Amino acid sequence: MADSNFIDYVKVYCRSGNGGAGSTHMRREKYIPKGGPDGGDGGRGGHIILRANPQYWTLIHLKYRKHIMAEHGGAGSGKLMKGKNGEDIYLDVPLGTVAKDAETGEVLFELVEPFEERILVKGGRGGLGNNNFKTATNQTPRYSQPGEPYEEGWFILELKLLADVGLVGFPNAGKSTLLSTVSAAKPKIADYPFTTLEPNLGIVSYYDDKSFVMADIPGIIEGAHEGKGIGMRFLRHIERNSILLFMVAADEDNIAQGYEILLNELREYNPELLVKDRVLAVTKSDMLDDQLKSEIEAQLPDDIPHVFISSFTQEGIKELKDMLWEALQKDMKDQESEVVIFPELPEIQEYDAEDEDIDEEDNE
């Protein structure tokens, strides 16, 4: 990982700017010896703002920038002149970045919309000048407000990849090979476990210039939710995928059991992941004949669509794309159908004075 450009976790110290002090100034001119207070307000301290930039895909630009400090606000001065606001610092981050408080672990916010901006550390407000405190009984106040102090702290920025389809499987299950087959991505491929040490993204072409994004996530082993292997570091990337493609190799002892192990790891990590649509692909199926496929198919769960694929012979690749595209369209329709329906309001009756029959004698 030392030579990798993919960084999805950084810890930074951020400090906003102090607010500028208000001015305690009295107007003094040639023919106005007692002009009264005219102290201006102090300027606001600079914010530190996170901005979601679609052109960024990693946090490597923040890896060696550990201390980020904004500019202080300027002090107010006479003639009601306000101090200069401290310059804000904008930190561009990829879509899907989560900001957390490093001490408490509290999630502060998430950036999921392009060019969305959120203040990470707020600058101090500028103090009021003495002009703001003059009254009929106190016409020459000789005091003003100091600026508010800065805010500071350590923050964690985590990246959760945004993709349409996420590949979930054991190490060496053929995830990287599939991604290189259906897209132009060039992940590292080898015949030993944990070849993939960082997520990879690829754009999968479909019919009529349509496409979707596929994410190759490092392999998960049993106990990954407890920190075993390297799965714990990358399980969070699965949260942002619309569809989960489970991949189990045909040379596994029990394919159905392997699928259940993967499903249980997601359940233990975050039960909400089970709500996502799932597709099961049995990889390396070029090693199977029709009889073995029938025996394996009888053991597979009925609640998830499945397909036998081989990235080497291209077997089942077209069927897999069709299944994924259909699942994506279903997911989009489900999201569009989640519309809040407000109850119908009763029809408003117009007031007509002639409809009222008022008995004047009763009123008396």
Same domain, 197 and 153: no
Same domain, 321 and 249: yes
pLDDT in tens, 302-335: 888 999 999 888 999 999 999 999 988 887 777 6
Residue 362 lies in a domain: no
Mean pLDDT of the chain: 83
pTM: 0.68
Residue 231 lies in a domain: yes
Same domain, 104 and 195: no
Residue 37 lies in a domain: yes
Please report which confidence band the pLDDT of residue 192 belongs to, taking 50, 70 and 90 as the band edges.
very low
Residue 346 lies in a domain: no
Same domain, 203 and 95: no
How does strand 241-249 pair with strand 277-283? Answer: parallel
CA–CA distance from 290 to each of 37, 295, 296, 298, 303 (Å)? 93, 9, 10, 12, 22
The one-letter amino acid code at 257 reads Q
Same domain, 126 and 171: no
Q: Residue 202 forms beta bridges with which residues?
A: 214
C-alpha R_g of the chain: 31
For residue 269, give both structure tokens: 């990590």
Rounded average pLDDT over 262-268: 86
CA–CA distance from 302 to each of 166, 170, 261, 299, 329 (Å)? 21, 21, 16, 9, 21
CA-to-CA distance for 317 and 294, rounded, in angstroms? 19
Residue 353 lies in a domain: no
pLDDT in tens, 95-126: 889 999 999 989 999 998 999 999 999 999 99
For residue 124, give both structure tokens: 């101090």
Which CATH number does the domain housing residue 105 bear?
2.70.210.12
Which CATH number does the domain housing residue 207 bear?
3.40.50.300
Torsions phi, psi of 207, nearest 5? -65, 155
Same domain, 153 and 98: yes
CA-to-CA distance for 287 and 168, rounded, in angstroms? 21
**Among 159, 186, 218, residue at a domain's last position:** 159
Residues sharing a CB contact under 8 Å with residue 108, sequence separation 6 or more, in sequence order? 99, 100, 101, 118, 120, 155
CA-to-CA distance for 305 and 285, rounded, in angstroms? 16
How many residues does the structure list for the chain?
A: 364
Query: How many structural domains compose the chain?
Result: 2
**Among 159, 185, 218, residue at a domain's last position:** 159
Terminal CA-to-CA distance of the chain, rounded, Å? 93
Residue 24 lies in a domain: yes
Residue 356 lies in a domain: no
Same domain, 190 and 307: yes
pLDDT at residue 356 greater than cutoff 50: no
Same domain, 313 and 251: yes
CA-to-CA distance for 310 and 130, rounded, in angstroms? 78
Q: What is the pLDDT of residue 118?
A: 96
Same domain, 137 and 274: no
3-state secondary structure of 154: strand
Torsions phi, psi of 150, nearest 5? -70, 165
- Contact 216/185 with Cβ under 8 angstroms? yes
Same domain, 154 and 203: no
Residue predicted with more confidence, 338 or 341: 338
pLDDT at residue 82 greater than cutoff 90: yes
**Among 159, 179, 196, residue at a domain's last position:** 159
Contacts 24+ apart (CB under 8 A), 290-296: 296/250, 296/255
Tell me which residue range forms the domain holding 283: 163-336
pLDDT at residue 200 greater than cutoff 80: no
